Amino acid sequence: MPKESRRRRFHAAETIQAYTRSKVSWQSHAEQLTSMKEHINALGKDAADLAAARSEGSPWQQQVIDDVDPLLRSLADHLSAMIQHLNDNQNRVHMPAFQDYAKANYEYSQRLLRMIDDYVDYEQAKSKTEALEQKLQLGAGSASGEQ
């Protein structure tokens, strides 16, 4: 998934945090939370699919699954708590408690996004290095030219 597509999945968290500094209605917050919940659920499904195929992955790919899963679960749990807080306190979206939820939600999403971006960057660099090694014949079979 391209980096921009990954960023769009987490845009709702940024929007929700910005909303806490404006006078938008609780319904606008609810729409953004619903959007974010849909994206997190889609990521959860992707993570479950990857976990099911974990044994087929390389060690670093298994590490990705192991690292992303707990953070994604924490984000989903926090988002659920934030939704419950909004349901219970619809007229208090501009109060510090909701703002704290929004800030933490944004921080969780950014942390997860950075982690995913870092692993994607690693995979791209690894693939490029392997392709260059192959092109330059630096693999195990090139020992005959070494001194």
Tens digits of residue pLDDT in 120-139: 999 999 999 999 998 898 75
The residue written with tokens 């995979």 in the block is: 123
Contact 37, 101 (CB under 8 A): no
CA distance 71 to 52: 18
Rounded CA gap, 61 and 64, in Å? 5
Question: What band does 66 get if pLDDT is binned at 50, 70 and 90?
Answer: very high
The CATH T-level fold of domain 3-129 is: Four Helix Bundle (Hemerythrin (Met), subunit A) (1.20.120)
pLDDT given at position 147: 43
Mean pLDDT across the stretch 42-66? 93
Question: What does the buried/exposed string (b/e) look like for 44-58 if buried means 16 or more CB atoms within 10 Å of the residue's CB?
Answer: eeebeebeeeeeeee
d(CA 73, CA 68): 9
Domain boundaries in the chain?
A: 3-129
**Structure pTM?**
0.77
Residue with tokens 């001194």: 147
Length of the chain: 147
Say which residue the tokens 């950014």 belong to: 110
